[in-house]
Amino acid sequence: MSVIEDLFGVGGKSVVITGGSRGIGEAIAETFVRAGARVYICARRAAEVEKTAARLSAFGTCRGIPADLSTEAGRDAFIAALQQHESQLDVLINNAGTIWAAPLAEYPEDGWDKVFDLNVKGLFFFIRDLVPMLKAAGRHGAPARVINVGSIDAFHVPKHETFAYSSSKAAVHQLSAHLAYRLAPEHITVNVIAPGLFPSKMLAGTLESKGEEALTAPIPLKRLTGASDMAGAAIYLASMAGAYVTGAVIPVDGGFATTL
């Protein structure tokens, strides 16, 4: 086995990726599948989950398990289905998330609740309920991993009126640090990847109205966050290279929020 494989290999690991049917989640899932991991992707829309899982299965092992992780019933159903295939879990990547934008005077309570129910509440209870499977996989020197996808909007004030989203991602960053402290004795690390502007469905409208050149102008590295940027950060945190890192937030934003 090569030095690179020793450090960054994830072959044979069991990996759950929420929000894995498209965007950042799909990009990360494809990299893990190609690297030899057994990957389980989750999202609400069954057709999208099945389509992505079928595509990724051409490169290795990928199973789709549709579920709404903002609800207790959805989380329970996913875990029950996962346990039909795995007795332990090496890596949990919480990427599922939603956004709501509205003027302050018109910001709806149900919009706020929708964002927090998935981005924070659902994430917390999903981790809580998967701790037994993560504990079964983790050991001293080779812990199980939880990787939460946060946002650079937790570092700075976004120009858009996405009050619940930025607040929820700040909560994810703090919650991750708290869980990192609590779960370290169980041989489980908890870290955050905070992406910058990624060309996902969330950004599509802004990209169309403003154009890529205008969006990338204030970014020091002058481009959007790419699929390989997010997948590379996830591979680092999931592999032996990242085994001694916990409670960290890694910005992957080309310096946009971190150098201002």
Closest CA to 56 of 29, 74, 75, 28: 29
Task: List residues with catalytic annotation.
Answer: 165
Read off the amino acid at residue 103.
P
Q: Are 37 and 14 in contact (CB under 8 A)?
A: yes
Backbone φ and ψ of 47, nearest 5°: -60, -40
Return the axis-axis angle of helices 123-137 and 163-183, rounded to nearest 10°: 30
- Cα 118 to Cα 10, 122, 178: the distances in Å are 28, 5, 19
Q: What is the rounded end-to-end Cα distance, in angstroms, of the chain?
A: 42
Q: Are 1 and 9 in contact (CB under 8 A)?
A: yes
Q: Round to whole Å and give the CA distance between 132 and 134.
A: 5
Q: Round to whole Å and give the CA distance between 64 and 37.
A: 14
From the centroid of its chain, how far is CA 177?
Answer: 15
Q: Round to whole Å and give the CA distance between 12 and 144.
A: 13
Q: Are 219 and 196 in contact (CB under 8 A)?
A: yes
